[in-house]
Amino acid sequence: MIDLTGRSLLSLRDFTKEEILYLLDLSDRLKKEKKEGIYKKRLENKNVALIFEKSSTRTRCSFVVACFDEGAHPEYLNRGDIQLGHKETVEDTARVLGRMFDAIEFRGFSQKHCATLAKHSGVPVINGLTDEEHPIQVLADLMTIRERFGTLGGLKLVFVGDGRNNVANALMIGAAKVGLDFVIASPSERFPDRELVEECTNYAKENNSTIRLDDDAGRAVAGADVVYTDVWVSMGEEGKEHERATLLRPYQVNRELMSCAKETAVFLHCLPAVRGYEVTEEVFESAASLVFDEAENRLHTAKAVLVALLGKGNL
């Protein structure tokens, strides 16, 4: 039996395929319960700190609603509210929060800070996006793909655009862990770090799947089941808009690029989207676009993660 009690979720690289599938199964179950109006309050009397150094709609709202649905109290702490890393070390903030809260969600810049919070707080820490990774987004993405296709293994997922951003990194890890064939379509300047690709290639091999990098978007998307993109300029990269728009223009997800994918292919985007840049209005609004199912699934997966890490996943 899988038991994730007390674990942190800093990266999906720390989770086995079975553990990831367990979280997806739990997400499905919690989604069904909510649709049926069943609220089991599995997190009653729990307090969850939500640290946000960067802005957020989906992550913040999904954690707040997940907490309330399960009877927990969420406390939102933004950059101006606390002294994290300035005037107080991350270690000390972690030790204080760990004395008061049962879990911590962290959205910020540094993956190291996220790990430091986990090490020193003594409570589960959930990565709600760093410069390097966005693992809980990927849980919602995998949930959405499985809902549509009924399976994950054997499908081809292509991430098009900025191939070395947090979402691309996390998606590559998640895809490799569950056995999706994964392709990054981006200019070689924006290919992911070689060590990460090697690590993911090893995970993929264990699942008879593949990881590939391609600087030709049309060739990469050929035969895809899922075409995924994200913004060309991530939070913290302000000032790079012009450079990225020039570099990534050939990687826009538009009708022509979607026509290279399978007829049954779907379009995903973690959101927020900048229409007219990484994706056209036409594709974003098309029948193939599952972006709002994907956004909704952020709630069910955030809830599953909280319930599982706080030890109530089997109730």
**Which residues carry out catalysis?**
107, 134, 137, 230, 270, 298
In the range 110-149, which residues lie near ligand CP by CB under 6 A? 129, 137
- Closer Cβ to ligand NVA, 183 or 231, answer by number: 231
Q: Which residues pair with 126 in a beta bridge?
A: 9, 105
Q: Which is nearer to ligand CP, 29 or 54 (CB)?
A: 54
Closer of 134 and 146 to ligand CP (Cβ): 134
Nearest to 116 by CA among 137, 144, 88: 88
Shortest distance (Å) from residue 100 CB to ligand NVA: 28
C-beta closer to ligand NVA: residue 72 or 235: 235
Count of residues binding ligand CP (CB under 6 A)? 9
Interacting partner of 231 out of ligand NVA, ligand CP, none (Cβ under 5 to 8 A depending on kind) = ligand NVA
Question: Which residues in this chain contact ligand NVA in the complex, by CB under 6 A?
Answer: 129, 165-167, 230-231, 234-235, 270
* Tokens (6 digits) for 202: 């090893």
Among positions 5-64, residues that touch ligand CP (CB under 6 A) are 56-59
Q: Give me the least distance between CB of 236 and ligand NVA, in Å please.
A: 7
Q: What is the secondary structure of 248-291 as a DSSP string?
A: HGGG-B-HHHHTTS-TT-EEEE-S---BTTTB-HHHHTSTTB-H
- What's phi and psi for 196, nearest 5 deg? -65, -40
Q: Of 112-120, 141-149, 197-205, 270-278, which part binds ligand CP (CB under 6 A)?
A: 270-278
Answer for the pair 275, 250: CB distance below 8 angstroms, yes or no: no
CA atoms of 64 and 158, how far apart (whole Å): 31
The residue (of 96 and 271) whose beta carbon lies closer to ligand CP is 271
Task: Pick one of 21, 222, 247, 271: the residue that binds ligand CP (CB under 6 A).
Answer: 271
Residue 167 Cβ, how far from ligand NVA at the closest point, in Å?
Answer: 5
Q: Checking DSSP bridges between strand 156-160 and strand 181-185, what pairing results, if any?
A: parallel
**Positive/negative CA dihedral, 272, 273, 274, 278:** positive
* CB-based burial label for 68 (10 Å; 0-12, 13-18, 19+): middle
Distance (Å) of CA 26 to CA 41, 297, 315: 15, 12, 11
Minimal CB distance residue for ligand NVA: 234
How far apart, in whole angstroms, are the C-alpha atoms of residue 175 and residue 170?
8
Q: How far is the CB of 235 from ligand NVA (least distance, A)?
A: 4
CB of 57 or CB of 208, closer to ligand CP? 57
* Residues 255, 265: Cα–Cα separation, whole Å: 12
Q: Which stretch binds ligand CP (CB under 6 A): 64-72, 109-117, 172-180, 267-275?
A: 267-275
Range 73-103 burial, b when 16+ CB lie within 10 A, else e: ebbebebeebebbeeeebeebbeebbeebbb
Pick what 234 binds: ligand CP, ligand NVA, none; C-beta below 5 to 8 Å, kind-dependent: ligand NVA
Does 301 help bind ligand CP (rule: CB under 6 A)?
no
Residues in contact with ligand CP by the rule CB under 6 A? 56-59, 129, 137, 270-272
